[in-house]
Amino acid sequence: MKVFETINELQSHLDALRESGKTIGFVPTMGALHDGHIQLVKTCVSQNDVTVVSIFVNPIQFNNPEDLAKCPRTVEPDSEKLESAGCSVLFTPSEKEMYPEPDTTVMEFGGLEKVMEGRFRPGHFRGVGVVVKKLFEIVKPHRAYFGEKDFQQLAIIQYMVRKLEIPVEIIPCATIREADGLAMSSRNMRLTAEQRTAAPGIYAALINARENYSWFIPSGLEKLVMTEIEQNHELKVEYATVANAVTLQPFEDWMDVEHAVLCVAVFAGKVRLIDNIRLY
Ligand code: PAF
């Protein structure tokens, strides 16, 4: 596995591979890699000649400075995991390399960024959009891989790629879960033993909602999920939202939308966890 810290060196390496007809797959990450990331990398390896992974903790997507400070930096174990998963190129730029000047890019996502996460994390999706666009321009991948756990992020990146006509195919990948259902996340390692025991209750409530949604109106289902999750006192729901799975907008009648998703953000102490399930 080759490791690059500068854009120029990475690009010379990738330009040569692209010119020789190799396909390039890309998995952007912020490091602290778990099996969810590794599954993205393995899928990428199986579909492309060259797999590029970036590790960059993107400061401009953190609306909460405490979250940025607590974001684990584990480049050495991450490199080992990537090497065993078959990654060919690792890109670990510094902040100065990515943002030589303060970033002022204006981003627009057709309203997708205003709901759910967008309501509670102002500026977050602008930061994600800026860095992912920049990384796409640097790596110029044929395909890029994103997990469905970050459902809204995925929808926003798909929108950005369509709108800006970025020539990359976005490949959504299913959420990877622990055996007890908890969605894998680098935040899980910050849970106390009690919070970790409680956290699978989030997915259990989502499964129950999918099985029983037709008995409720969407807002009733949101209340049910909230109550069920909060039955465990370790968990506090920030939002439980039923949305159109394409536009991410709320709706009132199941008959009005072709595909619906239920997204939640839940605090276990200070650790904020997100998850989602497609209802139909
Ligand atoms: O999902 C993430 O880890 C980040 O938001 C991403 C896509 C790597 C951009 O920093």
CATH code for the domain of 112: 3.40.50.620
Task: With respect to residue 178, please indicate whether it lies within any of the assigned structural domains.
Answer: no
Q: How far, rounded to the nearest angstrom, does the alpha carbon of residue 10 sit from its chain's CA centroid?
A: 24
Calculate the dihedral angle through the C-alpha atoms of 188, 130, 100, 186, rounding to the nearest 10 degrees. Answer: 10
Q: Tell which one of 30, 40, 56, 62 to mutate to probe ligand 1, the residue whose CB is within 8 A of the most ligand atoms.
A: 30
Quick check: 70 pLDDT over 90? no
Percent of the chain residues topping a pLDDT of 70: 100
Quick check: 123 pLDDT over 90? yes
The whole-number pLDDT of residue 226 equals: 98
Determine the residue type at 217.
I
For the question of whether the overall pTM of this predicted structure is more than 0.85, the answer is yes
Task: With respect to residue 248, please indicate whether it lies within any of the assigned structural domains.
Answer: yes
The whole-number pLDDT of residue 97 equals: 98
Question: For residues 279 and 265, what is the distance between their CA atoms, to the nearest angstrom?
Answer: 17
Ligand 1: residues with CB < 6 A are: 28-30, 58, 61, 128, 131-132, 150, 153
Considering the domain architecture, whether residues 149 and 221 belong to the same structural domain is answered as no
What domain count does the chain have? 2
Question: For residues 133 and 144, what is the distance between their CA atoms, to the nearest angstrom?
Answer: 12
Considering the domain architecture, whether residues 35 and 103 belong to the same structural domain is answered as yes
Distance 226 CA to ligand 1 centre (A): 27
Query: Do 97 and 5 touch, CB atoms closer than 8 A?
Result: yes
User: Which one of 173, 208, 226 terminates a domain?
Assistant: 173
Considering the domain architecture, whether residues 125 and 224 belong to the same structural domain is answered as no
Considering the domain architecture, whether residues 216 and 86 belong to the same structural domain is answered as no
Long-range contacts of 35-40 (CB under 8 A, 24+ apart): 35/176, 35/184, 36/147, 36/149, 36/175, 36/176, 36/183, 36/184, 36/185, 38/81, 38/85, 39/173, 39/176, 40/145, 40/146, 40/147, 40/173
Range of the domain at 243: 186-278
User: Which one of 173, 197, 215 terminates a domain?
Assistant: 173
Considering the domain architecture, whether residues 47 and 76 belong to the same structural domain is answered as yes
Considering the domain architecture, whether residues 192 and 273 belong to the same structural domain is answered as yes
Considering the domain architecture, whether residues 79 and 57 belong to the same structural domain is answered as yes
Considering the domain architecture, whether residues 157 and 243 belong to the same structural domain is answered as no
Task: With respect to residue 179, please indicate whether it lies within any of the assigned structural domains.
Answer: no
Considering the domain architecture, whether residues 60 and 161 belong to the same structural domain is answered as yes
Question: For residues 146 and 124, what is the distance between their CA atoms, to the nearest angstrom?
Answer: 17
Ligand 1 atom nearest to CA at 58: 10
